[in-house]
Amino acid sequence: MKILACISVVPDTTTKITFTENNTQFNTAGVQYILNPYDELAVTRGLEIAEANGGTLTIVHVGKADAEPVIRKALSMGANEAIRIDAEAMDAQHVAEEISKIAEGYDLILTGRESIDYNGGAVCGLLGAILGLPSVNVVTRIDYAGGKFTFDRDIDGGRETVTVAGPCVASAQKELCEPRIPNMRGIMAARTKPLQVLPSQTAGGYSHYDTFELPAAKSGVKLIDPSEAGKLIDILRNEAKVI
Amino acid sequence: MSVLVFAEISDGKFKKASYEAVSYGRQVADLIGSKVVALAMGQGADAGELGNYGAHTVKSISVGEAFTADAYAAAVNAIANEVSATVVIISNTYTGKSLAPRVAQLMNASLATNVVSLPDTSNGFSVKRGVFSGKAFAYVNLSRNSKVLAITPNSFEIKTFGETAAIENSSVSVGSSSINIDAVNKVTGKIPLTEAEVVISGGRGLKGPENWHLIEDLATALGAATACSKPVSDMDWRPHSEHVGQTGITIKPNLYIAVGISGAIQHLAGVSSSKVIVAINKDPEAPFFKAADYGIVGDAFEIMPQLIAAAKS
């Protein structure tokens, strides 16, 4: 069993987002970077399945050298090896193309549901299409038995259970598992695990981010006396006209 | 040349998101001087009604409701070829999120998900999309000749055009998938969170799952969906599927009422695009009051019964 987990490195969830250079660049000053929370689930469940089936888990990341501390974190969780494709990620399509070049021969390829920075949510489906593999989005369960993967996945207004016999791509959703916290032994071991740096093999060119903007600020809250809370309903009906 | 819109059918009806997508597609077509072909995949829905929302032609593929990303994407791509589509519009529902990337790859098209604006074609083909989990927006220019746009539900007004569409049965069929669907569990009689126009959400201030009737009763009275904060789903008071915020679901209803939620930056990220926000919290310093349009400072256990009574009247 060979499993590949694709990871993103993203600003910590508490980051206040700002932009520089006339709103054309994300302001990285003072930003702490973390392993994308959904990818953390993908890595954890991938490891559990690899360990239960005598397999291995490889980490892949598309990005520059400053991502290596986060890649080492994924290794300290228990992954066997890591690959960093040395390219500045341009968009989900570029990332998927880069990963597809090294993704042959895996039984299961895992991603997070989406990265919490660019929120594309597309790498799972893109990889599936490029590699000609089925893709199963937003999974809350992955089990492996008798050569088949069983997934629970979120659908609009509910959940479904699907099985796939053979290699496939899936994206991790909350509830899949509790993220594994690296222990001291894992952290020590991660220092010497192989982290291979490979050159970029594609040019991207699907899209270009021109500018960014922040949501419009609210003009100020209108407070309603708690003893007359029922008035709120009247205001929402007749003033805001939203109910 | 045409704009192809994927019109999703659920339980024998077009979804509201499908009307949004068709009416959005018509506006794109008018902008680039093209025609709209709506693709109705499923059963039971009246394909003709899509004309009213702007479709010039409706291609109908009669299939069961077993959605699999690989088989559906191949069918959508075949239709896109058949009608020479340069733009494909898909609503960014769970189904759309599974479908859009595969379609983009098969068409060798540029992909944008979370789209919240019509394209700006004055300099290339630029759309606004949500990034940083609701904390910001980006303008992204799509370079390829073909484009796939996955538009955020509840972001676009449904426009009606009062027209009728030509209906064509398509020779394209949905092939077999390597994904086998074993079981589907849909929660019936409940409004899906991402499609809801009104959402009532509870946080730790409600003190325990046994008090959730306060949220549910107000939701029932207003025809709303229910949601919760991250601590609430982490403590298993409510299912994870109700968690809105940066690492949960991002929503943009017309009205979001937050009860007993302080308004941490991660939570606000998931809801700040809501049209009107109401915060109910006993702490006047709760950050949510800075992000809200209306607020009540007070005890949720005293306020909620008043709201429920007023909503029922």
Quickly tell me which residue has 């009606």 as its tokens.
B160
Sequence-distant (≥ 6) Cβ neighbours of residue B256 within 8 angstroms: B199, B201, B271, B274, B276, B277, B278
Q: Are B287 and B294 a contacting pair, CB within 8 Å?
A: no
Sequence-distant (≥ 6) Cβ neighbours of residue B267 within 8 angstroms: B229, B230, B244, B245, B246, B261
As a whole number, mean pLDDT of residues B232-242 equals 94
- B237 has pLDDT over 90: yes
Distances (CA, A) of B224 to A85, B63, B199: 46, 31, 5
- Amino acid at position B162, single letter: G
CB–CB contact B187 A154 (8 Å): no
User: What integer pLDDT is reported at residue B179 of this predicted model?
Assistant: 96
Question: How does pLDDT run across A170-201, given as a tens digit for each residue?
Answer: 999 999 999 999 999 999 999 999 999 999 99
As a whole number, mean pLDDT of residues A39-56 equals 98
Question: How does pLDDT run across B251-260, given as a tens digit for each residue?
Answer: 999 999 999 9
Q: Which fold has domain A2-228?
A: Rossmann fold (3.40.50)
CB–CB contact B310 A125 (8 Å): no
Coil, strand or helix at B312? helix
- B189 has pLDDT over 80: no
Instruction: Give the Cα separation of B51 and B54 in Å (integer).
Output: 5
Q: Which two tokens stand for residue B98?
A: 């599974």
Q: Are B174 and B63 a contacting pair, CB within 8 Å?
A: yes
Q: Which positions in chain B touch A224 (Cβ < 8 Å)?
A: 294-296
**Comparing C-alpha atoms, which of B34, B98, B193 is closest to residue A153?**
B98
User: What integer pLDDT is reported at residue B65 of this predicted model?
Assistant: 74
User: What integer pLDDT is reported at residue A110 of this predicted model?
Assistant: 98
Burial call A127-153: b when 16+ CB within 10 Å, e when fewer: bbbbbebbbbbbbbebebeeeebbbbb
Across chain B, where does the E strand assignment appear? 2-10, 13-14, 35-41, 57-61, 85-91, 110-115, 126-131, 136-142, 147-151, 166-169, 179-186, 198-202, 225-228, 255-259, 276-281, 294-297
Instruction: Give the Cα separation of B81 and B83 in Å (integer).
Output: 6
CB–CB contact A158 B137 (8 Å): no
CA of B289: which chain A residue's CA is closest? A221
Tell me whether strands B136-142 and B147-151 are parallel, antiparallel or unpaired. unpaired
Q: Are B249 and B270 a contacting pair, CB within 8 Å?
A: yes
Q: Which two tokens stand for residue B32?
A: 């680039």
Q: Are B58 and B51 a contacting pair, CB within 8 Å?
A: yes
Percent of chain B whose pLDDT exceeds 70: 100
Identify from A18, A139, A214, A232 which residue to disrupt to test chain B contact, counting B C-beta atoms within 10 A and taking the largest count.
A232
CB–CB contact B290 A233 (8 Å): no
The confidence band for B188, taking pLDDT boundaries of 50, 70 and 90, is: confident
The confidence band for B170, taking pLDDT boundaries of 50, 70 and 90, is: confident
Coil, strand or helix at A218? coil
Question: B2-169 and B193-312 share one CATH topology?
Answer: yes
CATH code that applies to domain B193-312? 3.40.50.1220
CB–CB contact B138 A150 (8 Å): no
CB–CB contact B111 A13 (8 Å): no
Q: Are B306 and A229 a contacting pair, CB within 8 Å?
A: yes
User: What integer pLDDT is reported at residue A177 of this predicted model?
Assistant: 97
Q: Which two tokens stand for residue B170?
A: 């398509």
Among the partner residues A128, A213, A232, nearest to B294 by beta-carbon distance: A232
Instruction: Give the Cα separation of B49 and B29 in Å (integer).
Output: 18
As a whole number, mean pLDDT of residues B13-27 equals 96
- Residue B297 phi, psi (nearest 5): -90, 110
Q: Which positions in chain B touch A119 (Cβ < 8 Å)?
A: 113-114, 130-133, 250
Sheet with B294-297: list strands edge to edge.
A222-223, B294-297, B276-281, B255-259, B198-202, B225-228
Element (H, E) at B27: helix B16-32
CB–CB contact A229 B303 (8 Å): yes
Question: How does pLDDT run across B102-128, given as a tens digit for each residue?
Answer: 999 999 999 999 999 999 999 999 999
Instruction: Give the Cα separation of B82 and B80 in Å (integer).
Output: 5
- Residue B91 phi, psi (nearest 5): -75, 140
Q: Which positions in chain A touch B241 (Cβ < 8 Å)?
A: 154, 159
User: What integer pLDDT is reported at residue B156 of this predicted model?
Assistant: 95
Q: Among A96-105, A197-206, A221-230, B181-190, which is the least confidently predicted range?
A: B181-190
Task: Identify the CATH assignment for B2-169 out of 3.40.50.620, 3.40.50.720, 3.20.20.80, 3.90.79.10.
Answer: 3.40.50.620
Report the Cα A128 to chain-centroid distance in Å. Answer: 16
Domain boundaries, chain B: 2-169, 193-312
The confidence band for A157, taking pLDDT boundaries of 50, 70 and 90, is: confident
As a whole number, mean pLDDT of residues B277-290 equals 97
User: What integer pLDDT is reported at residue B138 of this predicted model?
Assistant: 98
Q: Are B129 and B137 a contacting pair, CB within 8 Å?
A: yes
Q: Are A66 and A105 a contacting pair, CB within 8 Å?
A: no
Mean per-residue pLDDT of chain A: 97
Q: Are A82 and A75 a contacting pair, CB within 8 Å?
A: yes
User: What integer pLDDT is reported at residue B184 of this predicted model?
Assistant: 94
User: What integer pLDDT is reported at residue B11 of this predicted model?
Assistant: 86
Among the partner residues A16, A158, A174, nearest to B184 by beta-carbon distance: A158
Alpha helices, H only, A103-208: 123-131, 184-190
Question: How does pLDDT run across B263-275, given as a tens digit for each residue?
Answer: 999 999 999 999 9
As a whole number, mean pLDDT of residues A141-145 equals 98
Q: Which positions in chain B touch A234 (Cβ < 8 Å)?
A: 310
User: What integer pLDDT is reported at residue B192 of this predicted model?
Assistant: 82
Coil, strand or helix at A164? strand
Instruction: Give the Cα separation of B194 and B253 in Å (integer).
Output: 8
As a whole number, mean pLDDT of residues B227-238 equals 96
Instruction: Give the Cα separation of A217 and A220 in Å (integer).
Output: 9
- Residue B312 phi, psi (nearest 5): -80, -20
- A71 has pLDDT over 80: yes
Q: Using CB atoms within 10 Å of the CB of residue A15, give its burial: 0 to 12 exposed, 13 to 18 middle, 19+ buried.
A: buried
- B195 has pLDDT over 90: no
